Amino acid sequence: MELSPKQQIVEAIRGSENILAITHRGPDGDAVGSLVAVSKVLEKIGKKVTTVCADNIPAVFSFLDGNQVVKNISGNRDFVISLDVSNVKADKFLYKTEDGRINFIVTPKSGEFTPEMVSFPGGKFKFDLIIVLDCPDLERLGKPYEENVDLFYETPIINIDHHASNDHFGKINLVDLTATSTCEILVSLFESLSKDTSLLTDDIATALLTGIITDTNSFQNQNTTPKSLTVAAQLVAANADQQEIIRKIYKTRSLSTLRLWGRVLTNIHDESNYRFLWSQIKKSDFSSVGASADDSDGVIDELLKTAYGVDFVLLLIEKDDGIHGSLRAVGKGVDVSGIANLFAGGGHPMAAGFVIEDGKSDIPTDQIISKIREYQKARNRTSNN
């Protein structure tokens, strides 16, 4: 009988020693929660694990103890210098370190070695398994992937995610579109991984509940299901600190965050003819109120999304690598991933986003907004017919 993806993952983890766990750049609560939980679980069952995310863990998630997370994959491959001895036999071999170099000295039995006999085959990778979390495609891992494409090509990948746009890049794909979050999927995987003793210690349960709470916006989003509530209850029973999560993520705002939110409210543009509204944060807004990019987290869900009588809301944020657009559906049956697709982005019907990478300093808001107006015009025309 063929094994289910979950069983295959359990087998793959049991059979490996040195595992790379990694999540998408610009990590959210589900990315951080799943990464921290996987890393702690793998250590608990005696695996070596390297935990990677291209970007800093936002300060709001510092209670999750993501200290083990590093930004780059380094030293992941041996360097091999190979000498062909099929024609000229080697008598002895030694190496010397001098003047900042290592010299390998091979003495021939007879005849002579020539440079053509030396080659540099790729050495073995340190990792025997890669676990990618909450990530629809490998590109979204950012630099750690771009700089180590060979590693990802040659090492078995486990892909655990809940995004509809996931392109099944793994050797084993556990992609559950009905799950609220990657963290929700992990709970039953961890159960299968250790049948006798529970792997859900307080800190692991807290990390997993963080992902479920942030991806459902505290169980307010439409994606909240009976299963997600059951899994959350199971995590609370395992001592997940729900109060700490709520306090740290939703009830602690710095003055700089509040000032930034003030700017977002002042900048609201009314496109009610096209059934949406939008706002923006420019780089200069961040600097003039002393806020960082992290301070913009939550502004769309907690402020803009409370708007009434529109299909969706849009927030454009100017960051170092380009313009980040976030979309949230407000009206019933609206799918904002279609709008994200206009700009090569993606996501869920309720929440989606896109990035327009460019070095220009000004947000081309006119172009973005007029494209969306066109889309809305066409959409409302079809829905009225």
Q: In the set 32, 134, 212, 295, which binds Mn ion (CB under 5 A)? A: 134
- Minimum distance between the CB of residue 57 and Mn ion, rounded to whole angstroms? 15
At its nearest, how many Å lie between Mn ion and the CB of residue 192?
A: 21
Quote the least distance from Cβ 4 to Mn ion, whole Å.
22
By the rule CB under 5 A, 215 interacts with Mn ion = yes
Residue 350, classed as helix, strand or coil, is coil
Judged by CB under 5 A, the stretch of 18-26, 202-210, 214-222, 264-272 that binds Mn ion is: 214-222
Is position 30 an interface residue for Mn ion (rule: CB under 5 A)?
yes
Orientation angle between helical segments 182-193 and 5-14, nearest 10 degrees? 60
SS3 content of the chain, % helix, strand, coil (to 5): 40, 25, 35
Hunting for tokens 């891992």 — which residue is that?
141
Q: Which stretch binds Mn ion (CB under 5 A): 97-105, 111-119, 176-184, 233-241?
A: 176-184
For 193, the 3-state DSSP assignment is helix
Burial class (CB in 10 A: 0-12, 13-18, 19+), 65: middle
- Hey, is 48 helix, strand or coil? strand
- Which residue, 30 or 295, is less far from Mn ion as judged by CB? 30
Query: Can you tell me whether residue 334 is helix, strand or coil?
Result: coil
CA gap 257, 295 in Å, rounded: 5
User: Among the candidate windows 42-50, 200-208, 215-223, 344-352, which touches Mn ion by CB under 5 A?
Assistant: 215-223
Residue 19, strand partner residues: 49, 129
Q: Decide whether 215 or 297 has the Cβ nearer to Mn ion.
A: 215
Give the C-alpha distances (Å, rounded to integers) separating 46 from 18, 39, 55, 378: 10, 11, 27, 56
**Total residues binding Mn ion (CB under 5 A):** 4
Query: Which phi and psi angles does 98 have, rounded to 5°?
Result: -150, 145
d(CA 246, CA 280): 26
356: three-class secondary structure by DSSP: strand
Is 7 or 225 the residue whose CB approaches Mn ion more closely?
225
**Coil, helix or strand at residue 302:** helix
Q: Please choose, out of 119-127, 169-177, 207-215, 298-306, the segment that lies near Mn ion by the rule CB under 5 A.
A: 207-215
Helix axes 226-237, 182-193, angle to 10 degrees: 60
Q: Is 176 in the site for Mn ion (CB under 5 A)?
A: no
Told to check if 311 binds Mn ion by CB under 5 A, we report: no
Shortest Cβ distance from residue 161 to Mn ion (Å)? 8
Of residues 60 and 289, the one with the C-beta less far from Mn ion = 60
Which residue stretch of 57-65, 102-110, 174-182, 224-232 sits at the interface with Mn ion (rule: CB under 5 A)?
Answer: 174-182
Q: In this chain, which stretch among 42-50, 173-181, 186-194, 256-264 interacts with Mn ion, using CB under 5 A? A: 173-181
Residues 6+ apart with CB under 8 A from 63: 206, 244, 245, 248
* Shortest Å distance, C-beta 165 to Mn ion: 12
Q: What is the nearest approach in angstroms of Mn ion to the Cβ of residue 133?
A: 9
Query: x/- string (CB under 5 A) for Mn ion, residues 354-383?
Result: ------------------------------
Q: Is 241 in the site for Mn ion (CB under 5 A)?
A: no
Between 39 and 181, CB nearer to Mn ion: 181
Ranked by CB distance to Mn ion, the top (closest) residue is 30
Tell me the H-state helices in the chain: 5-14, 29-44, 143-146, 149-154, 182-193, 202-215, 226-237, 242-250, 255-266, 283-289, 299-302, 337-342, 365-384
Q: Which is nearer to Mn ion, 47 or 305 (CB)?
A: 305
Binding segment for Mn ion among 71-79, 116-124, 210-218, 279-287 (CB under 5 A)? Answer: 210-218
Instruction: Please state, as a whole number, how many other Cβ atoms lie within 10 Å of the Cβ of residue 147.
Output: 14
Binding site for Mn ion (CB under 5 A): 30, 134, 181, 215
